[in-house]
Structures are given as structure tokens and as C-alpha cells.
Structure 1
Amino acid sequence: MVADARQYCALPSPFPMKRGGALHGARVAYETWGTLNAARDNAILVLTGLSPSAHMMSCAADPSPGWWEGMAGPGKAIDSSRWFVICVNSLGSDKGSTCPASANPATGEPYRLDFPELSLEDVANAAHVVVRSLDIERLACLVGCSMGGMAALAYMLLHPGTVRTHISVDTAPQAQPFAIAIRSLQREAIRLDPQWANGGYDIHGAGEHYPDMGMSIARKLGVITYRSAMEWNGRFARIRLDAEQREEQQPFGFEFQVESYLEGHARRFVRSFDPNSYLYLSRASDWFDTAEYGGGNVMEGMKRIRVERALVIGVSTDILFPLEQQEQIAEGLEAAGAAVDFVALDSPQGHDAFLVDIENYSRAIAGFLAKL
């Protein structure tokens, strides 16, 4: 039996969605670490990127390494011996939360494409329900990474006064054309796979009818943009596969190590994440725009966020959420009255640096939290 530290929070029923429709009997998965103090003011909420679960770090109930294991835990940058840490699995994700693969209570069958249109505001509102269910009125800090950083901005816009400080990690106040274009191609790869069957594939990869090829291409496109050209050159250069590793029997088969690396990455991912959930969360990322809260102006939207202090971290090699967007977040929060620390890192790992360059990100995050 696999250990599982997941807890579940029931959402109000109906749970209204920003773009119309509502969910009934929905829930979100989350995990917690540390102890909530008597004043209930030492809570840190972490919102994740598109695909991670709520298992951010290991614990007694689930000792397996979490997706941010190097960053969080006793004595680490996000110190669970000091803070009560909460990580929520996004609404719409298949890692325990209600999603397109979940049963629609109205039919008893999976929602599939009958799942209501999903926005990051819905993700934020669901996370806020979790926080309130724990009887926490105000977070000591809200941390958002990648897509979770956009959801964190939505959280603070929709629930003013509920967050004391904020850590923004490799994210954006709105999707830019390059990011939209990449995610559009990822969704197209899935939709054009005949096995996607208009969302009717075998749920949870339980059978033969599953869009493996579409998911594989989508993942490869993602991985290419998560890292930088500098890292690809440094890791692989133009090194060719050994003769026995090449697909010589296949026309135009793999010849270079970088191709084999992407294939291995894709194989590990393909059946570990629900394709329809991927489509919904990807599109929600494209839709998010703080300008909606500022009369069509991003800076005016950012000015509506009220926190005491903020740390904004970006990396110069990130092509998906470029450094200019981190600067925009920092300027907006500062204009709103926050004391802002802006950290620009030169990590070669690109967008994924926050998962890889733990030393530099830890230094910035630990330094910020030490001031609180």
C-alpha cells in the first residue's frame, strides 16, 4: 500500500466558476506540515505549477520525496519547524482534486469535456476555501510558483487582506504571446491525436485508447521551454547516441542524445497526468490577466494587491516567463505599497531553475522569511 498524506477539503456546493457553471460535491486535495500556532498566524500557503501534486515535501505519512523537497522541510528555506505549511493541489488537476476525470454527480460518469470552463481564479478560490477550513484568516505568506504564481496573484486580488506577505517565483501577471503559442501547440498535439477521441479516451490510462502520442509531444514542447538553450548546449551539445541506441530501422529516427532525453521525459509523464486536466489548466493559464482588475492595464491591476512585503524571483534564462514579467510584478507590488525584494538570478536552467537551482532560490527565500 502506497503511503499518502493527502487530506481533502470539500468545496461549497454549488461552487460557482468564474466563466459560468458550477461544480457540485467538489473537493480539493492538500497536504500540511508543521504546527499551526495558537495565534493561527504562522501559515504559509504554496500554490503549484501545472502538473505537481500537493506533495511538496516528505513527511512521516508519506516519506517519498516531494516536488520541492530541497526547498521545504525542517531547517530548510521554508522551515516546517517554524511555519505551518499548506500545499494545495489545483482544482482541475487529477492529483486528488475534482477535475475532468472525476465523476459528475449528475451522471455518475466522468465529466470529461462537460467540466465547466476553468480559470485560475477558480483555482485561487478553491485554495482559499482550504485555508478558511483550517480556521486561518490571514496567511503569513503566500508562495506561488509558475502557474501557481498567477493563481497567487488571483488569490490576493479576490481575497484582499487575507495575505500578509508574498513570494512570487518565476511567474507572470498575464500570459504573453510566446507562452500562449507554446501552450496552444501543446493542446493542439493532444486534440489532434485520434486517441483523444474528443475527450473520450480511457480515463487514467486504464486501457488502449489514450492519446499517448499527443501527450508525448505536448510534454516535449513543454520541457524544451522549461530549460534554456544554454543548458541544452551544456548538457548535450551535438552528442550522438551509440549505434545500438539509435532507431535506424525508423525513417528519421532518434540520432542525438537530446532527442532520447526528451523521449524518456515524455514517457514518464504521458500516463501520469490526465490529458483533459492538462488541457483545462493550460487554457486557464492563457486566460489569466491581472489587467482585468485594472481597467485593461496590468500595472493598475497589480496596484489592487495589498501585502506588507514581497519577494519576487526571476531568472534571466526563462523564456516562458521572462525576467521582464518578474520586474513588472515587482514594480506593481511596490506601487501598491509593498516593500519589495527583487532577485534576478542567472541560473542556466531556465524556467525550471526554481526546481533545480535550490541553493540560490533557497538563499533568497530563506532570507526573506527570516525577516518576518
Structure 2
Amino acid sequence: MTETIPPGTQFVALPSPFAFKRGGELHGARMAFETWGELNAARDNAVLILTGLSPNAHAASHADNAEPGWWEAMLGPGKYIDTTRWFVVCVNSLGSCKGSTGAASLNPRTGEAYRLDYPDLSIEDGARAAHVVVRALGIERLACVIGNSMGGMTALAYLLLHPGAARTHINVSGSAQALPFSIAIRSLQREAIRLDPNWNQGHYTDQDYPENGMRIARKLGVVTYRSAMEWDGRFGRVRLDSEMHKDEDPFGQEFEVERYLEGHARRFVRSFDPNCYLYLGRSMDWFDVAEYGGGDVMRGLASIRVERSLSIGVHTDILFPLQQQEQVAEGLRAGGAEAEFLPLPSPQGHDAFLVDIARFGPAIGGFLGKL
């Protein structure tokens, strides 16, 4: 599939060549981003938002794109991330298919999509690319870097690779390393895609697209993004009227929750490139702050220097469990930061930061309000 880029997206060219941590390089690559608010004269009111795996840079509506963004309730004039005070930058992750150069982008050397010729992507590569955007905007030091989910990993890499690049940090349902459960889920997602015959070693087309593999991968993801508590509360054991279909599909959908997963998966599959999905998921599995602490994750975190930090998570998150946000807070505190850990009782699991704005909003807004 081709890249899908929202209206109003801006671009910054990456240095050419742009070398990757694990080898390989990009030529003529770019990063996609969007901004809100205005940079002040001192250039010290910039906030960088680093996203999870699938979002684009369109976190909220603005003059060039009135469509609601993926964090619309959080970001804007008078909202928790108040754009009348802050100059906010949201970047689309390197390796994505939403504007930044990824496996679906054209390789200038061949005139065709990179596909599996794209270099091995790491979280650190994304952090370095995001820093290029920040510097291109004339920002020497961020007031705050906010990382959500995968973006929480990218934010830590950003701070490790660019000491002093931000005064403060908010880590939202992120982590300093991937845990075995998360790795296992993403491994199954990648396997589902790669076992789809239409994947064809990455050489699919829009006509022969690995739809079944992407459907299963997305369903696996959605199951881990929410909690068992929420699944039970939303769907219970409500059944579908499926008796009429049993002759044609005796093991088809019988429960409302199955129909929900199917609908969610079908809305996603054609909106995201499968190869990009593979690369980004694996980059999370590889990330480990322990590499920066002589094999010790706490020592790696303690090497980060920020003035203040907030680590937020929820009790029901099984993908990035709460102890991972607590670990980030403890590690940054050991490095001298005034670090706060905030566990929230949201029932919505890992995706709570996207939907439970009533809890996450005051926490983030309160932190920023003290800067």
C-alpha cells in the first residue's frame, strides 16, 4: 500500500545519508510532523509528543486540518496541553506509513518501495530522527518531551542520546524495555502477517494484500490494549443471532465481542502498511535501556538527566504493566530528577491514555501547569 498522509502535515528532511543503529542507511528521507501554538521569543515553551505504533502526527485539529486528532480531548487552546501557552510538536514515527520514511516509502535508488530493503529499525533511530525535527524548528531545549506507549520508549531514547535536550519528561504507559509477554504478543502478530500467503516476503500489492494476517495481528493487539474488566463490562456474554449462518460457517462469530474485534480489525487493515507494522513492532522488542547502564536498566535510567518527570500508568494495563512506569520513575529519581509515579485506576487498560481523559488529562495538565 502507499503512504497515507493527513492534510496539514509538514516535513523535515533527514541528513543524507541517515545511518541506522543496527546498520544500513536512508538517503533522501524525511520526517512528518504537525505543530500547534507558537514558539515564544525565548524558544523555551516547546513540548514534543512521541506517539505509539500506529498514530500519525495529527494529534489534534488545527487551521490546516479541522479533522479531530487522535488526542483531540487532550491538546488545544485551554485544554490540558494548552496551546495558548505551549508550542506543541507531534512527530510521526520514523518507519511509519503516515508521512515519515518507512518501508512503504519510495527508495530513491530504485524508484520502488523499500519493502524489506528498509534498514533494521530501532527505537533509537526514531529518537534521533525526532531530534532532527526539533532542531530544524530552532529549538535547543524542550520544556517537556511526552511519550505515549512506544513513544515512551522513544522519549527515553531521546533523553539518553541527547543529554540536556529536555527539562522535563512525561512517560505515559511506556517502559524502559520490552517484557517477555509483550514480545510474545508482537511475535505472534508478526507471524500472522508473515504466514499470510499474500504477504509474499513483503512484495504484496493493493490487490494481493495480506488482509487475513493483518486482521489477526490487529485483533491480537486490540485484545491487549484493553483489559479483561472492560471486555466484561462492555460485552459480557452477549450473543449474536448467528444460527442462520451456521451451515456456511459452523465456527463463525457467536458473541458480540467477536463482532467488535472483527469490525475494528477491518477498519485498520487497509490503513496501515504491513511491512511498517513488522518493523515498528520489532523495534519495541529490541529496545532496552539496560544497554546504556552496563546491562542494568536502573543504571541506564539513572544516567538520564531531567529536572522533573511524571510516569503514568494504569492498574489494568497488561501490555505495558504498571511496574514498568514505576521503574521509569525510580530510575529517573536515582539520576536526580524530581520524579513522580502516578498509578491510575482506569479500567480501560493500555489504551486508557487515549480514552480516559478525565483521569489522564488532569495529571498531564497539572504537571505542565507547574513548569
| Band the TM-score falls in, shorter-chain normalisation | over 0.9
Cα separation, 2, equivalents of 1:138 and 1:278: 31
2:58 equivalent to 1:55: yes
Q: Which segments of 5 or more consecutive residues in structure 1 lack a partner in the other structure?
A: none
Q: Which residue does the alignment assign to 1:37? A: 40
Report if the CA contact (8 A) 2:6-2:58 is conserved: no
Q: 3-state SS of the aligned residue for 1:65?
A: coil
Cα separation, 1, equivalents of 2:10 and 2:260: 35
Q: Which residue does the alignment assign to 1:233? A: 232
Cα separation, 2, equivalents of 1:358 and 1:247: 41
1:84 aligned residue (74, 83, 87)? 87
How much is the aligned-residue C-alpha RMSD, in angstroms?
1.1
Is the alpha carbon distance of 1:157 and 1:245 closer, same or farther for their aligned partners in structure 2, counting shifts above 3 Å? farther
Deviation at 1:249, TM superposition (A): 2.1
Q: Which residue does the alignment assign to 1:112? A: 115
Q: 3-state SS of the aligned residue for 1:188?
A: helix
Moved more, 338-347 or 189-198: 338-347
Q: How does 1:1-372 map to 2 (within 5 A)?
A: 4-202=7-205, 207-243=206-242, 249-372=248-371
Deviation at 1:96, TM superposition (A): 0.5
Deviations, residues 12-36 of structure 1 (Å, cap 9, x unaligned) = 0000100001100000100000000
Report if the CA contact (8 A) 1:246-1:254 is conserved: no
Instruction: Supply the AA of the counterpart residue of 1:311.
Output: L
Runs (4+) of structure 1 exceeding 6 A deviation are: none
Q: Would you say how many aligned residue pairs link Structure 1 and Structure 2?
A: 367
Q: 3-state SS of the aligned residue for 2:219?
A: helix
Is the alpha carbon distance of 1:340 and 1:211 closer, same or farther for their aligned partners in structure 2, counting shifts above 3 Å? same
Cα separation, 1, equivalents of 2:128 and 2:246: 48
How high is the TM-score relative to the length of structure 1? 0.97
Report if the CA contact (8 A) 1:31-1:54 is conserved: yes
Cα separation, 2, equivalents of 1:251 and 1:153: 48
Cα separation, 2, equivalents of 1:325 and 1:369: 22
Q: 3-state SS of the aligned residue for 1:67?
A: coil
Cα separation, 2, equivalents of 1:261 and 1:243: 15
Report if the CA contact (8 A) 1:100-1:111 is conserved: yes
Deviations, residues 54-84 of structure 1 (Å, cap 9, x unaligned) = 0000011100010000111111111111100
Q: 3-state SS of the aligned residue for 2:75?
A: coil
Percent of aligned positions that are identical: 70
Cα separation, 2, equivalents of 1:3 and 1:12: 24
Deviations, residues 177-215 of structure 1 (Å, cap 9, x unaligned) = 00000000000000000000000001xxxx321000000
Cα separation, 2, equivalents of 1:248 and 1:42: 63
How high is the TM-score relative to the length of structure 2? 0.97
Cα separation, 1, equivalents of 2:190 and 2:247: 30
Report if the CA contact (8 A) 2:44-2:139 is conserved: yes
Q: Which segments of 5 or more consecutive residues in structure 2 lack a partner in the other structure?
A: none
Deviations, residues 74-111 of structure 1 (Å, cap 9, x unaligned) = 11111111100000000100000111111111111111
Cα separation, 2, equivalents of 1:162 and 1:99: 25
Instruction: Supply the AA of the counterpart residue of 1:199.
Output: G
Instruction: Supply the AA of the counterpart residue of 1:218.
Output: A
Cα separation, 1, equivalents of 2:220 and 2:266: 13
